[in-house]
């Protein structure tokens, strides 16, 4: 079986757990005899391709002729018309309005025939333009390759998945790693929500990374429950190693590692740190990451007067992440809304006792991590203090957690995903 897979990032250049999940899943699929063509906007050339073939979208020309462009452009239909229920327009007038808008879009869209788009692959101010250009290139890639199934990861690639489906006729599976409600709470970006909903509606099957996410998909996006399937993430144990590190400080270390954004709950980590430091000074807190709440977090730490025992590292990746886990005595993930959360699995794999919020998908599969409500700062502080103070509690959490995480393998997740591929291809063949 051959899969055309669309993603936005892939190790070693990642901004979060999405790239890590794509890497683990493709390795698991390779063991299931699934060949993966992984398309990303901007590949660096140093990606590990032992289990996957990387296609760099920046190396692919979307169109070679205007005729080819028009055929794809008409078939993909990027223009979003919200509704034809416009009280002052009849059917003919509405159709004319749509045609005019599509022609305007065609004329305004910047196309260089035979040339290639140079994607940044980042999350900058022109992200929406890159998302749409990526979908145009996806259509070209789908025309140039043979495959059985299309698999699109997260909202950035859903339009690419839809485009590939429309030019190839192959079934589409979309993988929801997070929703706009996870990222923004109730103050959602409606444009992102619309793209997510369109992807879910166009998909033959929708993979959710947790039951928590599955419920959001069904209740917030109104998707048929029959086509939404939960496949929990996992952790790669093949890279597990015992690291010999030299600590430069005598105090114990409590770590937050992730984006410093609303979703990840950094403010609750800071408030809990303040409460713990009222009881003991033999601890340092580390916030590793970057994000839109970074400056606010720094100001709050300064205002609380805990700066001597609180450190900001900025964004970490690769070996620095592994070293940070090796330094840590406790790992904390106080997410407000976490569809899954791979970092607790990585922490437990590194023998670090872990505290997670009950509002995370990973809480569904972990029974030996300490769980607290994200908003309960007192409970979080008590859990941190307990793990730092009572060695027996910490040792038991590490021992049982390691056994538990060891059972969460990407091979098992990949087997479930392959079964989903087989089901959508069977359904497609019945229709044909």
Give residue-wise pLDDT tens across range 284-343. Answer: 999 999 999 999 999 999 999 999 999 999 999 888 998 999 999 999 999 998 899 889
Q: Are 19 and 125 in the same domain?
A: yes
Residue 13: the pLDDT is 82
Q: Are 266 and 169 in the same domain?
A: no
Q: Is residue 326 part of a domain?
A: yes
Contact 268, 334 (CB under 8 A): yes
Q: Are 198 and 276 in the same domain?
A: no
Q: Is residue 71 part of a domain?
A: no
CA–CA distance, 201 with 205 (Å, rounded to integer): 9
Q: Is residue 176 part of a domain?
A: yes
Number of domains in the chain: 2
Residue 72: the pLDDT is 55
Q: What six digits make up the tokens of 144?
A: 């140039």
Residue 183: the pLDDT is 86
Using one digit for the tens of pLDDT, what is the confidence trace for 376-416? Answer: 999 999 999 999 999 999 999 999 988 888 888 999 999 99
Residue 45: the pLDDT is 87
Among 79-93, 292-306, 340-354, name the one with the lowest average pLDDT: 79-93
Cα atoms in the Cβ-side hemisphere of radius 13 Å centred on 18: 21
Mean pLDDT of 58-67: 70
* C-alpha to C-alpha distances, 158 to 8, 77, 134, 203, 223, nearest whole angstrom: 11, 14, 10, 9, 15
Measured over the CA atoms of residue 364, residue 181, residue 177 and residue 380, the dihedral's sign is negative
CATH number of the CATH domain containing 343: 3.40.50.2000
Confidence of residue 63 (pLDDT cuts 50, 70, 90): low
Using one digit for the tens of pLDDT, what is the confidence trace for 241-289? Answer: 667 777 888 999 999 999 999 989 999 999 999 999 999 999 999 999 9
Among 100-104, 127-131, 160-164, 354-358, name the one with the lowest average pLDDT: 100-104
370 pLDDT above the threshold of 80? yes
Q: Are 336 and 363 in the same domain?
A: yes
Q: Are 278 and 308 in the same domain?
A: yes
Mean model confidence pLDDT for the chain: 87
Residue 80: the pLDDT is 40
Residue 85: the pLDDT is 37
Q: Are 135 and 12 in the same domain?
A: yes
Residue labelled with tokens 């979908």: 135
78 pLDDT above the threshold of 60? no
The domain containing residue 55 runs over which residues? 2-62+116-234+412-431
Residue 84: the pLDDT is 38
Q: Is residue 96 part of a domain?
A: no
Residue 132: the pLDDT is 84
CA–CA distance, 216 with 139 (Å, rounded to integer): 29
Confidence of residue 82 (pLDDT cuts 50, 70, 90): very low
Residue 119: the pLDDT is 85
Q: Is 105 helix (H, G, I), strand (E, B) or coil?
A: helix
Q: Are 267 and 395 in the same domain?
A: yes
Contact 325, 299 (CB under 8 A): no
Q: Is residue 97 part of a domain?
A: no
Helix ranges, 114-264 (H): 127-144, 158-168, 180-184, 190-202, 211-220
Q: Are 120 and 230 in the same domain?
A: yes
Among 49-53, 111-115, 149-153, 227-231, name the one with the lowest average pLDDT: 111-115
Using one digit for the tens of pLDDT, what is the confidence trace for 91-102? Answer: 455 455 545 655
Mean pLDDT of 170-197: 92
Mean pLDDT of 24-52: 93
Contact 150, 139 (CB under 8 A): no
Mean pLDDT of 54-83: 62
Mean pLDDT of 118-136: 81
Q: Is residue 354 part of a domain?
A: yes
Q: H-helix or E-strand containing 18?
A: helix 17-31
- Output 15 or 216, whichever has higher pLDDT: 216
Closest CA to 364 of 329, 400, 408: 408
Q: Are 200 and 134 in the same domain?
A: yes
Q: Which of 119-123, 184-188, 331-335 is most confident?
A: 331-335
Q: Is residue 91 part of a domain?
A: no
Q: Is residue 67 part of a domain?
A: no
Residue 76: the pLDDT is 53
Q: Are 227 and 197 in the same domain?
A: yes
Contact 269, 378 (CB under 8 A): no
Q: Are 145 and 243 in the same domain?
A: no
Residue 114: the pLDDT is 57
Confidence of residue 65 (pLDDT cuts 50, 70, 90): low
Helix%, strand%, coil% for the chain, nearest 5? 50, 15, 35
Q: Are 421 and 375 in the same domain?
A: no
112 pLDDT above the threshold of 80? no
Q: Is 99 helix (H, G, I), strand (E, B) or coil?
A: helix
């Amino acid at each position: 079986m051959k899969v055309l897979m669309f993603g936005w990032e892939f190790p070693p250049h990642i901004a979060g757990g999405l790239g890590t999940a794509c890497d683990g899943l493709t390795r698991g699929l390779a063991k299931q005899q699934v060949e993966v063509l992984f398309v990303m906007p901007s590949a660096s050339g140093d990606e590990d391709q032992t289990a996957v073939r990387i296609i760099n979208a920046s190396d692919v020309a979307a169109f070679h002729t205007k005729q080819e462009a028009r055929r794809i452009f008409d078939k993909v239909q990027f223009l979003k018309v919200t509704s034809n229920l416009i009280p002052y327009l009849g059917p003919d007038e509405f159709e004319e309005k749509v045609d005019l808008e599509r022609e305007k879009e065609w004329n305004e869209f910047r196309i260089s025939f035979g040339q290639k788009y140079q994607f940044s692959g980042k999350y900058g101010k022109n992200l929406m333009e890159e998302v749409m250009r990526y979908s145009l290139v996806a259509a070209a890639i789908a025309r140039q390759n043979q495959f059985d199934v299309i698999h699109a990861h997260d909202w950035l690639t859903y339009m690419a998945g839809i485009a590939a489906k429309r030019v190839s006729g192959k079934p589409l599976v979309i993988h929801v790693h997070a929703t706009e409600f996870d990222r923004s709470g109730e103050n959602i970006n409606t444009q992102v929500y619309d793209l997510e909903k369109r992807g879910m509606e166009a998909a033959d099957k929708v993979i959710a990374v947790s039951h928590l996410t599955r419920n959001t998909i069904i209740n917030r996006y109104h998707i048929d429950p029959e086509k939404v399937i939960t496949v929990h993430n996992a952790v790669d144990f093949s890279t597990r190693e015992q690291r010999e590190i030299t600590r430069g400080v005598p105090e114990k270390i409590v770590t937050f590692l992730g984006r410093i954004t609303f979703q990840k709950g950094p403010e609750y980590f800071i408030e809990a740190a303040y409460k713990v430091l009222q009881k003991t000074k033999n601890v340092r807190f580390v916030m590793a990451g970057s994000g839109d709440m970074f400056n606010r977090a720094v100001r709050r730490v300064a205002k609380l007067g805990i700066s001597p025992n609180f450190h900001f590292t900025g964004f970490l990746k690769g070996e620095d992440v592994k070293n940070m886990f090796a330094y840590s005595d406790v790992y904390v993930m106080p997410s407000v809304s976490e569809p899954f959360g791979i970092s607790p699995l990585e922490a437990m794999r590194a023998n670090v006792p872990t505290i997670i919020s009950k509002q995370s998908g990973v809480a569904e599969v972990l029974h030996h991590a300490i769980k607290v409500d994200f908003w309960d700062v007192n409970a979080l502080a008590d859990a941190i203090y307990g793990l730092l103070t009572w060695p027996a509690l910490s040792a038991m959490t590490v021992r049982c957690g390691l056994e538990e995480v060891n059972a969460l393998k990407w091979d098992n997740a990949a087997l479930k995903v392959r079964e989903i591929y087989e089901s959508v291809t069977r359904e497609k063949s019945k229709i044909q």
